[in-house]
């Protein structure tokens, strides 16, 4: 019989929706499932918010006291979907209570927090994962497979971008994502870390960075509602008091990898016309790979030994023959979405719990990404090449 595991999810916002959907759907896709995630209790800031999340996301119970929930013996998994400022406190308490933990990205606000989280889960011997879900796009996993099989040879160059436009409007509200004390950093922590995670996954550890960081909009109207709606959808009207933005809006960096590859990274939430524009281009000694999340069913590949009369990028549509293809849809092109990346992430997390083998990215990988984020921010200040600390 497939084991039922009780999940307590802390945070009922955008990520809570994505995780709750994955708990419900994972066994429908991946069967036999490694476990049946039972949506036991959802925690939010107030009782009313928690009750809404319970009713909406199909949890049995609601609570506004995460400490009490973490201490409950009937809870197997703690899922952290909160803003970044409470990741460390919750994760450390959950580890001490012996719970398996999945934590939204970025792992923490600072390297110090990430280090203490990684130490706590190691000491407790629990399974841990950071929710950098874009690794779980089948086309990205296929790129990884080609690279591991040596199909594009030794990697020479990596180019990664993550461009969005939800914060381009200077009158979009000052949500927690623009406040250092809550978010830790701006674009660097929020989305550049996704690119760093993908670079680590596909190429290897980044060694040094040389970055420009900038903040275009130094103030924003104070957020009227308590809910982060990601930008101008909640645009303030009339004379609304403004508060200071003390994080970065954009980062552009050159990269050197430990294995000798070089590369670049760009991330911004102010690029009008770009929505979730994650692109990766990787050149190797035997071929190249290109991926664009806005066309995420597709991987563009070029192999240098293709016949001379048909050289060029070809489009591979991911499907049953590709990573996670057994569980997802039976025909290529039916459509991979954001949900599927979260369902696959959920499958890998519960598989790790079942087998006792740590998944990736785990908290150690999350710490490494945090170290790169720290180097990007330092380099943005100094203008110099900065080494990724260890």
Q: Which is nearer to ligand SOE, 190 or 207 (CB)?
A: 190
Q: Which is nearer to ligand SOE, 163 or 289 (CB)?
A: 163
Q: Which is nearer to ligand SOE, 111 or 230 (CB)?
A: 230
CA distance 272 to 254: 23
Closest to 341 (Cα-Cα) out of 29, 1, 116: 29
Q: Which is nearer to ligand SOE, 5 or 252 (CB)?
A: 252
The minimum distance between CB 181 and ligand SOE, in angstroms, equals 17
Q: Which run of H or of E encompasses 107? A: none
Q: Which is nearer to ligand SOE, 110 or 276 (CB)?
A: 276
- Per the CB < 8 A criterion, the answer to whether 227 and 13 are in contact is yes
Subset of 260-279 contacting ligand SOE (CB under 6 A): 269
Site track 197-236 with ligand SOE (rule: CB under 6 A), x = hit: ---------------------------------x------
Interface residue with ligand SOE, options 94, 114, 191, 388 (CB under 6 A): 191
Instruction: Tell me: does residue 135 bind ligand SOE (CB under 6 A).
Output: no
Subset of 18-37 contacting ligand SOE (CB under 6 A): none
Cα separation values, 59 from 12, 68, 260, Å: 11, 17, 48
Cα separation values, 272 from 168, 193, 268, 275, Å: 7, 21, 10, 8
Output the 3-class SS for 199-268: HHHHCCCEEEEEEEEECCCCEEEECCCCCCCCCHHHCCCCCCCEEECCCCCEEEEEEEECCCCEEEEEEE
Subset of 55-94 contacting ligand SOE (CB under 6 A): none
Instruction: Tell me: does residue 41 bind ligand SOE (CB under 6 A).
Output: no
Q: Which is nearer to ligand SOE, 13 or 34 (CB)?
A: 13
Cα separation values, 131 from 101, 107, 297, Å: 10, 9, 20
Instruction: Tell me: does residue 190 bind ligand SOE (CB under 6 A).
Output: yes
Interface residue with ligand SOE, options 82, 137, 161, 164 (CB under 6 A): 164
Q: Which run of H or of E encompasses 33? A: none
Q: Which is nearer to ligand SOE, 5 or 188 (CB)?
A: 188
Closest to 274 (Cα-Cα) out of 292, 286, 262: 292
Strand partners, 347: none
The minimum distance between CB 234 and ligand SOE, in angstroms, equals 14
CA distance 327 to 317: 16
Number of residues that bind ligand SOE (CB under 6 A): 6
Cis peptide bond upstream of 230, omega within 30 = no
CA distance 276 to 207: 27
Q: Which is nearer to ligand SOE, 186 or 359 (CB)?
A: 186
Output the 3-class SS for 276-309: CEEEEEEEECCEEEEEEHHHCCEEEEEECCCCHH
Q: Which is nearer to ligand SOE, 101 or 278 (CB)?
A: 278
Site track 318-347 with ligand SOE (rule: CB under 6 A), x = hit: ------------------------------
The minimum distance between CB 158 and ligand SOE, in angstroms, equals 20
The minimum distance between CB 190 and ligand SOE, in angstroms, equals 5
The minimum distance between CB 191 and ligand SOE, in angstroms, equals 5
- In the complex, the residues that contact ligand SOE under the rule CB under 6 A are 105, 164, 190-191, 230, 269
């Amino acid at each position: 019989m497939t084991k039922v595991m009780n999940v307590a999810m802390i945070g009922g916002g955008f990520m809570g929706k994505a995780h709750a959907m994955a708990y419900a759907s994972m066994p429908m896709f991946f069967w036999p499932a490694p476990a049946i995630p039972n949506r036991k209790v959802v925690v939010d800031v107030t009782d009313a918010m928690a009750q809404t999340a319970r009713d909406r996301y199909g949890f049995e119970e609601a609570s506004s006291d995460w400490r009490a929930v973490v201490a409950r013996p009937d809870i197997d998994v703690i899922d952290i979907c909160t803003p970044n400022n409470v990741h460390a406190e919750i994760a450390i308490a959950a580890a001490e209570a012996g719970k398996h933990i999945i934590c939204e990205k970025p792992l923490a606000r600072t390297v110090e927090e990430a280090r203490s989280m990684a130490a706590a889960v190691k000491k407790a011997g629990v399974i841990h994962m950071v929710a950098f879900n874009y690794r779980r796009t089948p086309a990205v996993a296929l790129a990884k497979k080609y690279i591991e099989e040596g199909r594009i040879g030794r990697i020479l160059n990596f180019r990664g971008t993550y461009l969005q436009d939800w914060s381009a409007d200077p009158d979009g509200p000052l949500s927690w994502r623009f406040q250092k004390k809550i978010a830790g950093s701006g674009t660097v922590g929020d989305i550049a870390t996704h690119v760093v995670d993908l670079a680590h996954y596909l190429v290897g550890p980044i060694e040094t960075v040389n970055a420009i960081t900038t903040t275009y909009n130094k103030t924003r109207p104070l957020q009227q509602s308590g809910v982060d709606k990601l930008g101008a959808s909640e645009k303030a009207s009339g004379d609304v008091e403004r508060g200071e933005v003390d994080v970065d809006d954009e980062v552009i960096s050159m990269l050197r990898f430990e294995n000798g590859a070089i590369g670049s990274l760009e991330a911004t939430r102010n690029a009008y016309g770009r929505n979730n524009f994650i692109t990766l281009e990787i050149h190797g000694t035997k071929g190249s790979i290109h991926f664009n999340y806005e066309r995420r069913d597709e991987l563009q590949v070029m192999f240098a030994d293709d016949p001379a009369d048909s050289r060029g990028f070809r489009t591979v549509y991911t499907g049953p023959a590709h990573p996670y293809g057994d569980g997802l849809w039976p025909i290529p092109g039916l459509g991979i979405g954001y949900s599927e990346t979260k369902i696959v992430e959920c499958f890998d997390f519960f598989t790790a719990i079942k087998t006792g083998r740590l998944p990736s990215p785990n908290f150690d990988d999350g710490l490494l990404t945090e170290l790169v984020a720290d180097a990007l921010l330092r380099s943005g200040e100094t203008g110099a090449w900065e080494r990724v600390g260890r």
